[in-house]
Amino acid sequence: MADIRLPLFGAERDAEVRRMHANTGGSRVYFWGQEMVIAERARRAGLPLTTESVGGIVADMALPLIGPAEAPDYPNLIARTAAKWLKPAAAEQEPGPP
C-alpha cells in the first residue's frame, strides 16, 4: 500500500495518484485531498457542486475513485469539506494592507 504524506490540497495531486495507480494496479483508489481537488476544479470552472458536475470532474481525473458511488451526498460532503479547508483563490482574497 502506497503511503504519501502531503498537504491536504495539491492542485495536480490526481496526476501523481494516476502514476501510483498505474504502478499498483488497484481496482479503486482514494487519495488524501481528493475532495479539495474536485472542489477547486469546480470553482475554477464556475460550477456548483452537483452530482453531475462532480461526476464530470471525476471522469476528467481518469481515476477509479472511491467516494462518489459510495456516498449519495458526495457533492454536499465536498462542499462542507471545502468550506472548511479549501483556501479562497488568490482573486477571491481580500487585499492586505498597502
Report H helices in the chain. Answer: 13-24, 34-45, 51-61, 74-85
Contact yes or no for 1/48 (Cβ under 8 A) = no
- pLDDT tens for the chain, 98 residues: list them: 555 555 555 557 777 787 888 888 888 988 888 898 999 999 999 999 999 999 999 999 988 899 988 998 999 999 999 999 888 764 444 444 44
Query: Which residue type sits at 26?
Result: G
Whether the pTM exceeds 0.85: the reply is: no
